[in-house]
Amino acid sequence: MSTSEKVAIVTGASRGIGAAIAKRLGRDGFTVVVNYAGSAEAAAAVVHEIEAAGGKAITAQADVSDVEQVKRMFTSAEAAFGGIDVLVNNAGIMMLAPLAATDDQNFSRQIDINLKGTFNTLREAATRLRSGGRIVNFSTTVVGLKLETYGVYAATKAAVETLTAIMAKEMRGRNINVNAIAPGPTATDLFLNGKSDELIERMSKVNPLERLGTPEDIADAVSFFVGPDSGWINGQVLRANGGVI
Ligand code: NDP
Structure confidence at residue 200 (pLDDT): 98
Per-residue pLDDT reduced to its tens digit, 124-180:
999 999 999 999 999 999 999 999 999 999 999 999 999 999 999 999 999 999 999
- Among protein residues, the one with the nearest Cα to ligand 1's atom 2 is 190
218 sits in the region (left: phi over 0; alpha: psi -120 to 50; else beta) called: alpha
% of the chain beyond a pLDDT of 90: 98
What is the reported pLDDT for 2? 55
Q: What is the CATH number of the domain that holds 125?
A: 3.40.50.720
Amino acid at 110: Q
In a domain, 231, yes or no: yes
Ligand 1 within 6 A of CB of 119: no
Q: How many domains does the chain have?
A: 1
Active-site residue among 36, 150, 153, 225?
A: 153
- Confirm whether 245 is domain-assigned: no
Q: Which residue range is the domain that position 74 belongs to?
A: 3-238
Distance between Cα 12 and ligand 1 center (Å): 6
Per-residue pLDDT band for 206 (boundaries 50, 70, 90) equals: very high
